[in-house]
Copies of this chain bind each other. A is one copy, B any other.
Amino acid sequence: MIDEKWLSDNDPVCSNRRGFLRGVAAVTAGGALGVSIPLQGADIVAGASAQEAATPLPEYVKWKNPDSMIVHSDQTLETRRAYTGSVITPEEQLYVRNNIKAPDDSFIADRDGWKLEITGVKSPTVLSVAELKTMGLTTVAMVLQCSGNGRAYFQEKLKGTDKAIKGTSWALGAAGCVAWTGVPLKTVIEAVGGASPGAKFITGTGGEKIPAGLNPKDIIVERSVPISNLDTVLLAWELNGKPISLAHGGPLRMIVPGYAGVNNVKYVAKLSLTDTETDAKIQKTRYRVHDMGTEGSADVPSVWAMDVKSWVTSPLSDGKAGRVTVAGVAFGGMNAVQEVEISTDGGKNWHKADFVGPDLGRFAWRQFALSTELEPGSYTLVSRATDATGKTQPEEPELNAGGYSHNGWLAPGVKISLA
C-alpha cells in the first residue's frame, strides 16, 4: 500500500518510529555493517566497505563521479574522504541525503515557473523563481553537512556494548563546501511588507508530494530556524554556478548558512515567518540531540547551528618517508575557523597548520596544510580546529541517541606507515 521508498530508509528516529515499514530494519543493519575501524589509513573510511563501494549510483544521481561516492542507499551517498579536500566541492562529488525520495524531473521542467508561497508577512503572496531573480542576487559559500555526519564513529564506539545507534554510518563525507546563488530572504521579506508581528521562526516547506494514506505531518520536510538568521538565509537557484540539480533541491532551496543540512529545505514551496516551530515530525521529535534511551522532543535541542570541525584529507595512504604535506579542511559552523593544529602522533604533540587558499567567508571551510619531514615509521594524523569564538573540537563528543553532530578529533585519525 505504501511505497516505503518515499521515506528515508535509514534515518535513526525515522526507522525507530516507522519500524512497520518493510525493509527499514534490514537496510539499517546493512549500513552498520559497513563501519570499519575509525582510525584508518588509505581511504578505507568508516562506512566504505568494498561491498558498498561497488554499489552503482542511483539513476537520479548517475551524473555523479562514481569514484568519489560511497552509496549507502538510494537516498544516502557519501563523498569519499579523499574527495573532500577542495575549497569548493564539485557537485558531482557532493554527498546526497534525501529525507523523502527525490521528486521526478517535472520539478525542474520549468525552473523559472516554480512557485513559492510566502506567508507570515504583511502582504502574503506567491512569487515565481523568475520574479525572485528580479529582486536581488547574492552568493554564499558554506559548508553543507548532514546532521549525522560522523555517526559511524559513535557506532564504532558502541560496538560490543548493549547499546547501538541506528542510521546511516556516515564517516566524514556527508559534508561539502559549496556556493549557493540566489536572493537574500531579507530582500524578499522587505518587498512583501516585512514580517508579521511576533514572528520568531523562518519556516520552510519542501514541495514533495506526500503519498496518500500517510499522515503529512509524519512525512513532510518542513523545518523552522530562529528568525535571527534572516540576515543570512538565501532562496537559492544555483549551486556552484549551475542551476541546482534535482538531487540537491532544485529549482529552489532554502539555504541557512551555518546550519546542518536538514535545515536547508529542498524544493522549497512555502516560506513562512511563524510564531512557533513547525509541528512536523522532522522538527518536533526528529533531528533532536538527546541522551541514549530517551526520545526526541521539543524540550531538547534541535540540530541547528553546526559545531567547529576539521579533518585530514591528505595523505590517506602509506608512502615514502621524507617531506610530507598534511592537509585538510576546517570550519566553524556559524563562525569563521581561527586556528588548526595537526598532530602526527594521534594527539600527543600538536603543530599549528597554515591556512591555504581563498577564504570564502565565515560559513565556508578553509583548507589547511602543514609540510613536515617524517622519518620512516607509523603515524596517526589528526587535526583539531578552533573557531573565532574560541571553541575547540573535543577529543570525543558526547554520545547522543541520534548520533548527530560528531565533531571529535580523535576518531577520524588517519593511520599511515612511511617507508
Q: Which residues of A contact B (CB under 8 A)?
A: 85-90, 93, 133-141, 179, 181, 187, 191, 238, 240-242, 314, 319-320, 322-325, 327, 356-361, 364, 367, 369, 371
User: Which residue of the partner chain, among B140, B179, B324, B357, contacts A138 with CB atoms under 8 Å?
Assistant: B357
- Copies of the polypeptide in the assembly: 2
Can you report 7 A-B residue pairs in the complex whose CB atoms are below 8 A from each other?
Answer: A87-B139, A134-B319, A134-B371, A135-B323, A138-B367, A191-B323, A358-B360
Q: Which residue of B lies closest to A357 (CB)?
A: B139
CB distance from A314 to the nearest CB of B (A): 8
Given contacts A136-B371, A139-B357, A358-B364, contact A88 B241 (CB under 8 A): yes
Q: Is the CB of A138 within 8 A of B369?
A: yes
Residues of B within 8 A of A136 (CB): 325, 369, 371
CB distance from A318 to the nearest CB of B (A): 13
Residues of B within 8 A of A179 (CB): 86-88, 357-358
Residues of B within 8 A of A325 (CB): 133-137
A138 and B141 alpha carbons, distance in the complex (Å): 18
CB distance from A344 to the nearest CB of B (A): 14
Q: Is the CB of B361 within 8 A of A358?
A: yes
For the complex of A and B, 3 pairs with smallest distance between CB atoms: A86-B241, A139-B357, A138-B356
Q: Which residue of B lies closest to A142 (CB)?
A: B358
Given contacts A357-B181, A360-B358, contact A367 B137 (CB under 8 A): yes
CB distance from A413 to the nearest CB of B (A): 20
